[in-house]
Amino acid sequence: MRYIALRLAYSGTNYHGWQAQKELPTVSGTLERALSEICGEQVRVTGCGRTDAGVHAKTYVANFRTGSQLPVDRLPYAVNSRLPEDIAVYDAAEVEEDFHAVFSAVKKEYTYYIYPSRLKNPFYARRAYFYPGKIDLEAMRSAAAQMTGTHDFSAFRSAGSNVKTTVRTVYYFDCAAEGELIALKICANGFLYNMARSMAGTAIYASEGKILPERIPDIFDAAQRKNAGPTLPPHGLFMTGVWYKTPVFKR
């Protein structure tokens, strides 16, 4: 048996998330079908996170095992030729048997993109959150600074996942303009369900003056979901990085 990790990217618009109901198209199901064809056996993939329907990934890591002897440097080309145009594999590498795309990860980065404009733009539809107003970047940055560090993020998660602890460490939460977009980059040792989207919603509320940055410590303390900002829609969210104890890919 060989153990292989893949680095891939996908546009999540046409999928019901990474992993979901068997009846509906998912990224993992589509990838498994393509890999099974080239490996000549049923392949099961493990992904680095359960992205919701509509969420995208510029960088995503998945692992699988196979008896196939296909060389890893040919694998991206072979699998891409069997994948639809909204999923692409960029790299493949052999890993140790104990590698696990989720549990071996030491940190992840999500980026939430906002398109602040009077009028919508067809080319950002489903790729950024259209916000028909002005963004106060300084207020966002003050709020983001309060959300950085080690906290109990209970107020920033949706129900629906069982986790041992709700304490996470946010290494950075950068708010910056990227062309016409505002990019909110959040890097943490782990994310609770909907944590990135509710942190982005809290930054929007700070921009609107609905949440004062200096009150955010109270939001952590009270641990009530209703005190934080809204969960922004999925289509603005991109997984943009995942790091492992031992680097997996050469590039």
Instruction: Report the catalytic residues.
Output: 52
CB of 132 to a copy of itself, least distance (A): 9
Cβ distance to a copy of itself smaller for residue 81 or 150: 81
Report the first-to-last Cα separation within the chain, whole angstroms. Answer: 25
Site for a copy of itself (CB under 8 A): which residue of 73, 77, 138, 163?
A: 77
Cβ distance to a copy of itself smaller for residue 10 or 153: 10
Site for a copy of itself (CB under 8 A): which residue of 22, 23, 85, 159?
A: 85
* 58 near a copy of itself, judged by CB under 8 A: yes
Q: How far apart are CA 170 and CA 143, in angstroms?
A: 13
* 11 near a copy of itself, judged by CB under 8 A: yes
Cβ distance to a copy of itself smaller for residue 135 or 233: 233
Q: How far apart are CA 168 and CA 150, in angstroms?
A: 6
Q: Which residues contact 161 (CB under 8 A, 6 or more apart)?
A: 192, 193
* 120 near a copy of itself, judged by CB under 8 A: yes
* 82 near a copy of itself, judged by CB under 8 A: no
Residues 196-225 touching a copy of itself, rule: CB under 8 A, are none
* 122 near a copy of itself, judged by CB under 8 A: yes
CB of 80 to a copy of itself, least distance (A): 6
CB of 118 to a copy of itself, least distance (A): 8
CB of 70 to a copy of itself, least distance (A): 17
DSSP code string of the chain: -EEEEEEEEE-GGGSS-SS--TTS--HHHHHHHHHHHHHTS----EES--PPTT-EEEEEEEEEEES----TTTHHHHHHTTS-TTEEEEEEEE--TT--TTTTEEEEEEEEEEEE-SS--GGGTTTSEEE-S---HHHHHHHHHHH-EEEE-GGG--SS---S--EEEEEEEEEEEETTEEEEEEEES---TTHHHHHHHHHHHHHTTSS-GGGHHHHHHHT-GGGS-----GGGEEEEEEEESS--S--
Cβ distance to a copy of itself smaller for residue 13 or 189: 13
- Pairing state between β 129-131 and 105-116: parallel
CB of 52 to a copy of itself, least distance (A): 17
Site for a copy of itself (CB under 8 A): which residue of 32, 53, 78, 86?
A: 86
Cβ distance to a copy of itself smaller for residue 15 or 205: 15
* 247 near a copy of itself, judged by CB under 8 A: no
What is the contact surface with a copy of itself in residues (CB under 8 A)? 9-11, 56, 58, 76-77, 80, 85-90, 119-123, 125-127
